Structure 1
Amino acid sequence: MMQFWRLTLLGCGATAFVAPYARTTSTRPGATFFDVLAEECVLIDPADGTCCRNECASCSYHDDGEYAYEERTGGRWLPTQAETSVPPRLQTAKWVDVVFGEATNVTRDGFEAALDELPAEEIDVAWRTLTSAPKLLRRNEVQSKLRAIAPNGVVDEAAWAAAAAETRAAPVLDVVDYESMETAELKAICKDRGIRPLPVRRLVIEDLRFYDAHGVAGVRHPATKQLSLPKKKK
């Protein structure tokens, strides 16, 4: 059972202000994306960002002026939340500072530049694990991909290694640059393929990439919105 703690000390390197990490990191030969960006201490918000932080009397995440949170220490993880706020503490994930800085998206060239001390093959695997787009990576997409790998708020080394291994084993497909298309064009392709996308451009593109990879339209989970293959009819 997950245990949440009340805020008592300023630890975990998280404060009301977190300075950006340096964009270059000394790495050992053969280092991985996980090696460079993993954190030894992670704050986890049990509200998963849904709490309005207005100290509502009925709030289950607030008691006696303090907000509930979990603190993971004694290991190494990639936080699945880009930014975790449990006032007065705030933690921005290292992968945000290193890869994105203040931006909400990064080009493939920018991604490679931010991780330039990693082997080229490792950079490629990390990119393909986090997005199927050829040219642009979005911060909220990384968050979504990490959450798919580990729904409990943190990706450990074994989980990341398994996801990276799956990426390495997958065939490298010719990728269509859906990101540069107009929304109307994307919807027209969906119609031709029998896809009924949600009215969010990012999810429309995700539907199209799923179709490219599997040859059929995916089915979205009603709660998590994760895509999966349709169940075979008996």
Structure 2
Amino acid sequence: MRYCVRIFLLSLLAVAVAAFLPPRATSASSRVNPLQDATVAESVQISMEPKIAVKVFGRLAEKYIMLDATGGMCCYSACSDCEYREPGGGYRMADQSSSRPKWIPVYDERKFETLDKEHTTKWSTELFVDGPALTKEEFCSRLPEMTFAPPLGGPYLSASVGKSLGGEAEEEVAAVEAMWDLFIGDSGKEKLTKFRMSKRLRELANGEEGLTWNGFSKCVGIE
């Protein structure tokens, strides 16, 4: 009987001691990162008439884009073991140019010091006039004021036809506001920053350095 009582008291003591011990550390491999499974939900969906979409794209798109600084180190001699060749057979390019606006660059500015090249994007200078952030009202007034040039992709619009955007045309005003929704996403912010717009452009471009008409048209509901 005395032995059983002793065992019972020892078990109570063990429980009491365990209650005051610090929690057992977990290894790095088993530790759960709360951000690991987090996803950024960008559920904004918009729809735009093709000609209006061209008016928007022709304001944001550019004829020049900077891509990969290492691409400029290639001799372009079709070497069989060239590290600058793409899997599809093309070359990794430092930059590209087009006869008409083709890309909305995902960056606001970029410098390749080794190649002595730099580029500041049109959207970063013509939208963000007074600083690195702007309100919806500022965005919706500045986007229509951006210079339009007939881009590559979509139904062709001359410079004179594409010059106007918004005004009394309700569909065009709605399209400009929809672009704000597309860029601001589900962030809930009252201001759009250069950083946010650059990040959203990269998401919309699926990680590419520029958003072309094919990608842009899908973003605005054109199949």
Select the structure with the greater relative contact order (CA < 8 A; seq sep ≥ 6): 2
- Structure number, greater radius of gyration: 2
TM-score interval, smaller chain: 0.3 to 0.5
Q: TM-score, normalised by structure 2?
A: 0.48
Whichever structure has more strand as a proportion of its residues is 1
